[in-house]
């Protein structure tokens, strides 16, 4: 996965910020946003990741917005 570029406004570090989380019997999910740690600027969109545990003990991604979130942050005008 591509890394988050620094903030286009202040040059600060951009981070994945968890907004909320949810769980169901089969998996767990996080809603997150991308924001700058320094000035607090963030993308207007919310994103989501969801995982479940596989029968063989692995982590199975059910839903994964991380790549899209990174692209949208990095290509922000
Ligand atoms: Zn910033």
Structural domain total, the chain: 1
Tell me the mean pLDDT in the region 17-27: 91
Give percent of the chain with pLDDT exceeding 90: 91
| 48 falls within a domain | yes
Question: What is the reported pLDDT for 35?
Answer: 97
Confidence of residue 40 (pLDDT cuts 50, 70, 90): very high
Q: How far is the CA of 42 from the centre of ligand 1 (A)?
A: 9
| 63 falls within a domain | yes
Q: How far is the CA of 26 from the centre of ligand 1 (A)?
A: 37
Tell me the C-alpha to C-alpha distance, in Å, between residue 37 and each of 12, 17, 27, 49, 52. Answer: 6, 9, 29, 21, 29
Confidence of residue 26 (pLDDT cuts 50, 70, 90): confident
Domain that holds residue 51: 14-74
pTM confidence score: 0.87
| 27 falls within a domain | yes
| 30 falls within a domain | yes
């Amino acid at each position: 996965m591509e890394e988050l570029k620094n903030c286009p406004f202040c040059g600060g570090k951009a981070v994945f910020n968890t907004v909320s989380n949810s769980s169901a019997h089969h998996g767990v999910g996080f809603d997150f946003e991308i924001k700058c740690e320094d000035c607090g600027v963030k993308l207007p969109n919310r994103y989501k990741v969801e995982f479940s545990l596989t029968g063989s003990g692995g982590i199975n991604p059910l839903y994964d917005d991380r790549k899209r979130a990174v692209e949208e942050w990095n290509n922000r005008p």
